[in-house]
A and B are shown apart, each in its own frame.
Chain A
């Protein structure tokens, strides 16, 4: 066996035994690339040196999590998805007196603000609560601040328009120098907190769950586990929105969902399945 692969095994074990983070069911190839990247970022030379610091150095694990999580995101990413949420999902959610939304793996929060804008424009935001979670505290902190590089704003503005935005994207931020700051009123009904999809439980009854570009990092069994968690968190008839590349077809949880828009990976929890006992 390759020495590096052995070192990665030890890394995964150290993360689990010493710090309680379980990466054993992440897709190995991308996990390996990220760990190799960490070796470079921390000038460690080898994964074993990384492991040594992970075991002995106070607080080092936080930086490891930051390096493993790579919170890449954008506002209104895949605009047709937001358009479909606007046209097909929000009108149904409008019938609920209160609307709980769980945004899992929120990274730097771009999707959270995008959602808040959608809800605002649909006149639903005052009835809504968005639970925005990630297992990377540093990312959650950035998300809560809502400050991004100005150079991204042009792309995001284009996305916003393609997603059917009703105003001008610039109405939602103030620009200073190289940064834009999202209107903090958009945060008024958002709760940011740490939640690990591998180890943490259901915490709310959601009407809509958004989790995009997170499952791609998991192997099949962890994907199945996470989809079961989502199923158990959704109210009857609630919606699940996954990234356009992710697939639930092969998961046991698929039986509990029907298509709202198959190519855009928007599903609805079918009521029949909800009557079944929840598998854990």
Chain B
């Protein structure tokens, strides 16, 4: 099996609860960068970071412009900016136009992460009420990455996972509890 070297996750409506479920179940030994784009609608992402840090086994930080995507750390996209992964696995930000009504956009994160990590990337698309992330997920699969979509039946809002399945398909369609488990299996040698 290909060694998986990075995880990118996207969610929208219902995302906070979903993340609170997945992050605590990630193994502490997970030595790959985790990057999250969660539409919050709020101007300040620091509260989300705080809430996630409280439950996560891994440290959670706001992804900083030009900082490296550190292994074993959860990086959250700041609000109001697209979060991009550069080819050298450092972050960059942009205020370019919204993509599928969103900034940060999951499509932008997934597409650039797929470019940077290629087949090493595991992308996870979870609950949400719009279709952001579906095109990005397609790019991930195209690059040889592994795509996980939350089982729509188990999602608080099923529009996003359904769009993901329709447009990109998936390597696995799982409930939240199983998502964490699969990530551990894929990323811990």
Residues in A lying within 8 Å of B, measured CB to CB: 2, 27-30, 32-34, 70, 72, 213, 216-217, 220, 223, 245-247, 250
Contacts and interface: CB of A to CB of B under 8 A. Distances in A.
B107 to A, nearest CB: 10
Interface of B: 64-66, 78, 81-82, 84-87, 92-97, 108, 111-112, 115-116
A70 B93 contact: no
A216 B116 contact: no
B66 A30 contact: no
Name the residue among B65, B78, B82 with the largest chain A CB count within 10 angstroms.
B65
A105 to B, nearest CB: 11
A213 B94 CA distance: 8
Contacts of A246: 65
Contact of B95 (A27, A213, A223): A213
A29 B88 CA distance: 10
Contacts of A2: 115
A276 B11 CA distance: 50
Given A30-B92, A32-B115, A34-B96, A220 B86 contact: no
Given A33-B96, A213-B95, A245-B93, A27 B81 contact: no
Given A29-B84, A29-B92, A32-B115, A220 B97 contact: no
Given A213-B95, A245-B81, A245-B93, A29 B65 contact: no
A28 B65 CA distance: 14
B21 to A, nearest CB: 29
B87 A29 contact: yes
A246 B91 CA distance: 12
B92 A70 contact: no
Given A33-B96, A33-B112, A216-B92, A28 B64 contact: no
B78 A245 contact: yes
A2 B108 CA distance: 19
A72 B92 contact: no
B111 A33 contact: yes
B64 A216 contact: no
A60 to B, nearest CB: 21
A144 B84 CA distance: 32
A247 B92 CA distance: 12
Given A29-B86, A33-B112, A250 B92 contact: no
Nearest to B88: A28
Contacts of B93: 216, 245
Contact of B96 (A70, A220, A223, A247): A70
30 contacts: A2-B115, A27-B86, A27-B92, A28-B87, A29-B84, A29-B86, A29-B87, A29-B92, A29-B112, A29-B115, A29-B116, A30-B84, A30-B94, A30-B96, A33-B96, A33-B111, A33-B112, A70-B96, A70-B97, A72-B96, A216-B65, A216-B81, A216-B92, A216-B95, A217-B94, A220-B66, A223-B66, A245-B64, A247-B64, A250-B66
